[in-house]
Amino acid sequence: MQFWKGVTMELNFDPVTQDLPEGDGKFLPTTRTFTIDSHGSKLLGSVLIASGEPIHPTVIMLSGFPGNETNMDIAHAIRRAGFNVVQFHYRGSWGSDGNYSWQNSLDDTETIINHFRKEEVKELYRCDPNRLILIGHSMGGFISLMKIAEHSSINHACSFAGFNLGLWADFVKGNEEIKLISLERMKDSVELIKGTSAEALLEEMILNHEQWNLVNKVESLSKNNLLLIAAKYDQLAPVELHHSPLVKVLKTAGTKLDDIIISTGHSFSDKRIELTRVIINWLTSIE
């Protein structure tokens, strides 16, 4: 099973449902925490380091809004499959300094990408700075696609239950009823973050509707290897608005794209094994 060009590993176990076979006790998997400055604010994060001496391809796992779902079950399975996993908290959330905003979250992700492309990460975390993959849930899925559209050296991204902020803003701005529903849905989440409000976040989304519409990024996105996973019964990121239009234009553009719809809701709560297996199968097929 080839999990990256030039690096081959035969998995004699199932990383989705089984622990790693016993090794020789050298270069064990471990977890390291880190802090990093992003535009004057301290971000908190951790790196799940895969077993084995060689440097590893590294997944940057991007959480959604407001970040309470960290998808650690998926992260551990990815590590068992031989990849490092980086997780962090955007500004203004879960102990990271600063104020929360959509733009800050995009900029924080840029900070993390740039940090893990530095040569010194090889020794610190056994990370290969030239082999990064972006995987995100919900708003994190949006960020993963926005960022891969900007980085020619990153070629692989996965979005599950991904949110298209720009397309949603176009839908909301002309419909006062939907606008009020959106504000109500964000009400509880903004209690968990700092420096913003539901009204400010919605206004930020509307102001950036054109540049944050992923459909407008197809020319850049089509050059990459993408996995887009939707939830059939998703009420927060409905398939017909956030998944299908993007998949349609990407396929028309000839993108190397795997797309799948899983019969579950936005958090994939009853389909975690199926979701994880789809992601692991995609990761281990990368060449």
Q: Which two tokens stand for residue 11?
A: 């998995």
Cross-strand bridge partners of residue 132: 58
Q: Which two tokens stand for residue 221?
A: 């996105």
Task: Judge residue 19's burial from the number of C-beta atoms within 10 Å of its C-beta, 0-12 exposed, 13-18 middle, 19 or more buried.
Answer: exposed
What sign has the CA pseudo-torsion 229, 257, 214, 280? positive
Domain range for 216 is 2-283
The mean pLDDT of 115-142, rounded to a whole number, is 95
Domain harbouring 262, CATH code: 3.40.50.1820
Name the pTM for this structure.
0.95
Give the model's pLDDT for residue 10: 56
Give the model's pLDDT for residue 46: 98
Q: List pLDDT tens digits, range 70-100.
A: 999 999 999 999 999 999 999 999 999 999 9
Number of domains the chain is built from? 1
Provide the mean pLDDT of the chain. 94
